[in-house]
Chain A
Amino acid sequence: MPQPVSYRGMTLLVPDNDSEWAEYFAHARAHTLMMRACTACGLMRYPPTHACPWCMDLGWRWQEVSGRGTIHSYEIVAHAIQPGFKELTPYPVVLVELDEQRGRPTPDEALRIIANLVKDDLSPEAEARVAIGARVKVVFQDLADHFALPQFTLGGEPPVGRVWRLGG
């Protein structure tokens, strides 16, 4: 049983029998972003669950994705709830839509994941640079031998669609 991970005053528990998340975060520690893909219909899904939500098949395999995507929505936390995050405020939380499988199997569906938008040194990105439509790429924040958090940085690519930020 791996040790609990301490991060910003939180205890993150990923026991070996966490059959949804243990391997996902172990892959992240190897700096690969993996989605579960259905072996019957081929569609990837997130979160990493045990049946395909589109065909109900139980077969799955890990499939690496590029880690590139677009900010679909965001928020700026000014008042942190968790004590360990107070020193980071204001910090952005982003909903990233990955490039793979956008608009499939229906136009409104996509692989979307939550992370912080960070600078290269993993500190919070400046609010003025956060926007819906901005391009991002995954980076990994190593927290333990078996655990890393997938985070995102601005990708340096031109934005996709309309770029918008609150008050901007």
Chain B
Amino acid sequence: MSHLRDKYCIVGVGETEYSRGSNRSTRAMAVEAVRKAILDAGLTAADVDGMMDYQSGDSTLAPHVAPDLGIRLNFYMDVVGGGSSTEALVGLAMGAIEAGMCRTVAIYRSMNGYSEFRIGGTGARAAQPVRGLDLAQVPFGMRSAGQNFALTFMRHMYDYGTTSEQVAHVKVAHSKHASQNPKALLKERVTVQDVVGSRWIVKPLHLLDCCLETDNATCIIVTSAERARNCRQRPVYIMGVAGRVSKPRLDFHWAHGPISRVAGYYAKDIVFGQAGIGPDDVHVTGSYDAFTFTTMLQLEEYGFCKKGEGGAYVSSGVIELGGRRPNNTAGGHLCEGYTHGMSMVIENVRQLRGRVDDYCPGAAEGQHTYDYSVGRCRQVKDAEITMNLGWAMPPLGSALIMRR
């Protein structure tokens, strides 16, 4: 068990609209998201003295965002990275505060992932020269995330008999959740047949196995448990965190098999060890859904089912609202919109507060109906412990366990 368990909290969360055409800068969006998170926490600009963000040459930097809001920083760090950064930065924020460098850290991600730097790899990204390690795969027509991950998914089907229909249930579940989320880009519920009947992108991925490129900014505020007690919201305690845990040969992970194994295999003992709990103790998961397969692979690797049984697990109903352990209750990257992992942590914070922003008239006061039919409620009753399974690539992941 970690000596930092329960000593740090997430006290504020904020996000901009999920859109496919923000018509504004990543700086403008970041400022809005950070401001919302500060107000959500009941803090002021003077209370925030740390800032971290992540980007891949596609976003604004902390030295621009902080002064726009009148925040004077004692610490900041602009990190290069994509998926799996969220949980890692939460851990680093704890470290920065623990080291005495600052007191309260705002973590943000701001991206015009649809209208400017297409996250799927088309447009400006596809036109970049190819050099170094990229020569090992890009000249073979393998550049997008889907193309990079499909070999892993295909081998999992070979190794374990996983089917397209089984993993389609991830999209079905997340679409059910998105239908309870006024913010979601795709609110329509879909069926397994819709998924496997959609056009092929890169076999074994159909169009509806893939997430939604989105314009959006998000923010999470981390501070000590002591300060959290004076914040506006019920504190959400950090029990354990693992950041950017990798398989061997992160650059070319296919060298070390089994290639159907993902980084959660290495991360699970760190994060569960810190938290002092196991998978059975978790009530809600947020498993990164860049693709249907990524959610399935992580749930099995972290021990929510046996390795190889992820297909059966995700198609059993357990990951749906009303099931034993719902996953991505806001609809995730497949349906709510793509945020590089931030929104799944934000949703779990709201679940633990008992204050998800669904269609329940009393949602803001924590009055929920627990009626999971279309256009109603998505609050999980008495959610006490949540877990986020962050994904960047098959060989790279992060994880975060929180409690109320």
Contacts and interface: CB of A to CB of B under 8 A. Distances in A.
Interface in A41-88: 45-47, 53, 72-83, 85, 88
Nearest to A7: B139
Contacts, number: 136
Given A108-B256, A166-B154, A10 B203 contact: no
24 contacts: A10-B130, A10-B139, A12-B130, A18-B131, A20-B133, A46-B255, A73-B259, A75-B204, A79-B201, A81-B121, A81-B143, A82-B126, A88-B141, A90-B200, A93-B137, A93-B147, A93-B150, A108-B256, A109-B256, A110-B257, A114-B140, A116-B140, A132-B158, A166-B154
B154 to A, nearest CB: 5
A162 B259 CA distance: 17
Contacts of A162: 158
B131 A93 contact: no
Given A75-B154, A77-B147, A78-B201, 7 more contacts: A18-B132, A21-B132, A47-B251, A75-B202, A82-B141, A110-B255, A110-B257
B254 A95 contact: yes
A110 B121 CA distance: 29
Interface in B193-227: 199-204
- Classify chain B's interface size: 35 or more
B151 A75 contact: yes
Contacts of A20: 132-133
Interface in B130-171: 130-133, 135-144, 147, 150-152, 154-155, 157-158
A122 B199 CA distance: 26
A149 interface: yes
Nearest to A86: B141
A112 B140 contact: no
A111 to B, nearest CB: 7
A143 B131 CA distance: 15
B131 A13 contact: yes
B151 A73 contact: yes
Given A73-B154, A110-B257, A115 B130 contact: no
Interface residues of A, number: 51
A144 interface: no
Given A72-B155, A72-B259, A166 B147 contact: no
A74 B151 contact: yes
Contacts of A25: 135
B290 to A, nearest CB: 15
Contact of A109 (B130, B143, B151, B255): B255
B122 interface: yes
B100 interface: no
A108 B155 contact: no
A132 B153 CA distance: 13
Given A47-B251, A114-B254, A166 B204 contact: yes
A110 B257 CA distance: 8
